[in-house]
């Protein structure tokens, strides 16, 4: 039997074992990552797993560690991409099956997989204010905590009470909001390799009409300024201290600059869009060209906000 046949047989066996752990329909083999991210770039993952409970996630983490199978945690893929050759290991998506929402007075507890847009609507329905900023962010709650997501003068840091997390060894613990080390696009979840499970937040009482009007206004501002009609991964670069990445890129003369199918958006230079079936190589080369050009012209280092699955 050839090495390729042995490899395929081993993969089928692992697939069956993962399916036994997470349940039928919760794992796909050789699934294109491009089907699960907003920029539509990325080849196949050996295993694409969507656990539906904390217990299932805990068990699969222990299994993958035992088998020494590399893995990557993602939400709904709003700021990630992968190489065209894919990912040799398992993608674990914390998304649709882990998104329950519970409202108790001014306290809201939600699963890490819930979309921010859905959560914002539910919070508005409860006549609670303080989450309007997140209504148009295209990500999950877990990803928002991981990155301390923010927009329009609001950020996750403002509302977090505590987060229940699980580490890569399957140990579950709870971290208070004040101990999450939340900064600009960073948190202790990144530095300590933790996965958010459930998130507790505190809001103020408000008027639902005013809350929804503010959400509508912020969403309209996004639609007016951002290239939401094309595949992208959101803001391509973090905001450098004292500058705006989009303006630096525009002032560097890179509006509309293209590498293959990846292009600097002419609507908002802080975005890279995939408008012509971009490859991962196109995107990587464009990011590097932007970084080099901006540094050469302005002596400012741009740090990508787009994350590569590796």
163 backbone dihedrals φ, ψ, rounded to 5° = -135, 130
CA dist 25 and 184 (Å) reads: 37
Task: Count Cβ atoms below 10 Å from residue 126 Cβ, excluding itself.
Answer: 19
Active site residue 235: yes
Active site residue 305: yes
Active site residue 17: no
> Which is the catalytic residue, given 187, 235, 265, 280?
235
Please enumerate in sequence order all residues whose Cβ is within 8 A of that of 154, keeping only pairs 6 or more positions apart, or say none.
Answer: 130, 131, 132, 133, 134
> Which is the catalytic residue, given 164, 185, 187, 232?
185
CA dist 98 and 113 (Å) reads: 5
- Cβ atoms of residues 196 and 146 within 8 Å: yes
- Cβ atoms of residues 146 and 34 within 8 Å: no
Nearest residue to 137 (alpha-carbon basis) of 128, 129, 148: 148
CA dist 77 and 79 (Å) reads: 6
Task: Count Cβ atoms below 10 Å from residue 18 Cβ, excluding itself.
Answer: 23
Would you call 68 helix, strand, or coil by DSSP? coil
The two tokens of residue 12 are: 């089928």
How far the first Cα of the chain sits from its last, in Å, is: 31
> Which is the catalytic residue, given 212, 255, 305, 307?
305
Residues serving a catalytic function are 185, 235, 305
């Amino acid at each position: 039997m050839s090495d390729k046949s042995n490899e395929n047989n081993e993969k089928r066996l692992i697939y069956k074992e993962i399916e036994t752990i997470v349940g039928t329909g919760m794992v796909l083999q050789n699934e294109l990552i491009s089907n699960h991210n907003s920029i539509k770039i990325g080849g196949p993952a050996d295993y694409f797993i969507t656990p539906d409970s904390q217990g299932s996630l805990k068990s699969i983490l222990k299994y993958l560690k035992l088998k020494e199978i590399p893995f990557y945690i993602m939400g709904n893929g709003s700021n990630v991409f992968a190489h065209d050759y894919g990912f040799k290991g398992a993608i674990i998506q914390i998304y649709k099956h882990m998104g329950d929402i519970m409202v108790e007075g001014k306290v809201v507890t939600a699963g890490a997989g819930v979309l921010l847009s859905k959560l914002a609507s539910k919070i508005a329905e409860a006549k609670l204010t303080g989450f309007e900023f997140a209504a148009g962010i295209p990500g999950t709650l877990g990803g928002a905590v991981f990155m301390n997501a923010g927009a329009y003068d609001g950020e996750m840091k403002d509302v977090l009470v505590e987060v229940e997390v699980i580490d890569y060894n399957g140990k579950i613990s709870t971290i208070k909001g004040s101990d999450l080390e939340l900064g600009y696009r960073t948190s202790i979840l990144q530095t300590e390799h933790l996965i958010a499970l459930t998130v507790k937040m505190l809001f103020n009482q408000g008027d639902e009409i005013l809350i929804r009007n503010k959400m509508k206004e912020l969403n309209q501002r996004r639609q007016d300024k951002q290239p939401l009609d094309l595949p992208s991964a959101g803001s391509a670069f973090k905001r450098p201290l004292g500058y705006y990445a989009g303006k630096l890129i525009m002032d560097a003369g890179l509006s509309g600059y293209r590498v293959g199918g990846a292009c600097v958006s002419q609507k908002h230079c802080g975005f890279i869009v995939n408008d012509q079936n971009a490859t991962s190589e196109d995107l990587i080369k464009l990011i590097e060209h932007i970084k080099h050009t901006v540094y050469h012209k302005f002596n400012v280092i741009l740090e990508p906000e787009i994350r590569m699955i590796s």
